[in-house]
Structure 1
Amino acid sequence: MRDVLGSGEDRSVLADERAAMGGRPPRELLSLADDEGNSVSVNVLGRSPGWTTGLDAEIVVKTPFVSGRIDLALYVARLESWAEALDRLDAGEDVAWMEMSSGPSIFIQLTGERDCPEAVVGDESGSMVTVRVPLVPPDDWVADHRRRLRQVMDHWVPMLSG
């Protein structure tokens, strides 16, 4: 399993972060939102009761125009691929997360069709619906998402078998 800690970080800091969260398990893996009511999030719901190596999760899209959610299965390789996607975003590249798998995908384009960043959520294998959400995330959003990923992996991955 790939270590998602950045250089210079140690696990003792993670224990402090977990204590600061009040001991509650981390839920928001991805949370992109703007002040116009647009948001895309990936929420960890918990361990999958029928699948010991995975987590139940959901993708939630909210805009003033359209809102929806779709179930998502997360497992270690998907979490690791999110870490790789964050590396590419930090380098200024657009990303496609979960594009080559069954189920939904998330594309993050740093300069979308409206000359601003956007998240594109697609469910080509199920409903065949795609939603494009323009967003203007804060400057530190990649670092924030690395922290979210680290918390999710440190809490949930040790509980998974396989």
Structure 2
Amino acid sequence: MRGADSPASQASCSTLKDFLTRNAQSWRYEGPVTTEGTEMPEPPKAELISLSDEEQGVTVRILRAENFSGGGQDDTLHAEITVSSGFVNGRANLYLNSYDLDSWTAVLDTVESGRAASWLESGRSPRITISPAAISDSGCTEVSVHDVTASQIHVTVPIAAPSDWIERHRALLAAVRSRSPLTPDPL
């Protein structure tokens, strides 16, 4: 006997329900959820980096804030880097702290001054390097993602970025900081 009413199906559903109940804190909301007939909208995900043109792009999307230290306030942002093009597509998870957000400001300042800059160079997460169009071989803003922690793959994506992309990214950073304030890094 197979199907939803079979003993095997009931046992596996019961086991899954028990597992989900025990691990509810580690699951992220994938919404929508209905409660007493009311549909709850999915909380929007914030973008920290969104550099793309009609053909390809690189995005860093904040998935959720987390508290790793056990204190009262969130101290980490769980994020995802996405690279998309007709040639290669990939994703890598990363965790950001307040120091990482501060260093993203420094990267934007450096690139604005006409120099290439790398972000997340600690070796604990994928590294991103941005070369402004004025100094890149392609004549476009080049974004390189180095997955130093897992696959060891390095990909560079040339992007025809709008002239105001740095100002837009300062606004994205301000929105992320406002939405998910983090405990300052003690170091």
TM-score (norm 1): 0.77
Residue 161 of structure 1: how far off its partner (Å): 7.8
Cα deviation 1:34-72 (Å, max 9, x = unaligned): 12x210010000113655410100000000111010001
Deviation at 1:135, TM superposition (A): 0.6
2:140·2:161 contact (CA, 8 Å) conserved in 1?
Answer: no
Asked if 1:68 is matched to 2:90, the reply is: yes
1:100 Cα offset (Å): 3.1
Please report how far the alpha carbon of residue 25 of structure 1 lies from its aligned counterpart in structure 2 after TM superposition. 5.4
Aligned equivalent of 1:41: 59
Match for residue 135 of structure 1?
A: 159
RMSD: 1.9
Measured in 2, the distance between the counterparts of 1:53 and 1:128 equals: 27
Residue deviations 1:74-131, cap 9 Å, x none?
1100000001111111111111011233210000011333232210000123210001
SS at match of 2:176: helix
| Cross-structure match for 1:20 | none
- 1:126 aligns to 2:141 (yes or no): no
Q: How many residues align?
A: 137
Contact 1:26 1:152 in 2 (8 A): no
> Is contact 1:121-1:130 (8 Å) kept?
yes
1:153 equivalent in alignment to 2:185: no
Q: What amino acid does structure 1 have at the position aligned with 2:62?
A: V
Larger gyration radius, structure 1 or structure 2: 2
Secondary structure of 2:138 counterpart: coil
Identity %: 34
Q: Which residue of 1 aligns with 2:50?
A: 31
Aligned to 1:104: 126
Runs of 4+ residues over 2 Å off in structure 1? 48-52, 111-116
The letter of the residue matching 2:180 is W
Q: Supply the distance in 1 between the matched residues of 2:49 and 2:90 (Cα, whole angstroms).
A: 16
Relative distance call for 1:25 and 1:80 in structure 2 (3 A) is: farther
Where structure 2 has 5 or more consecutive residues not aligned to the other structure, the ranges are 1-42
Of the two structures, which has the highest relative contact order with CA contacts closer than 8 Å and spacing of 6 or more? 1
User: Does the 8 A contact of 1:31 with 1:40 survive in 2?
Assistant: yes
Partners of 2:80 and 2:45 lie apart in 1 by 14
Amino acid at match of 1:46: R
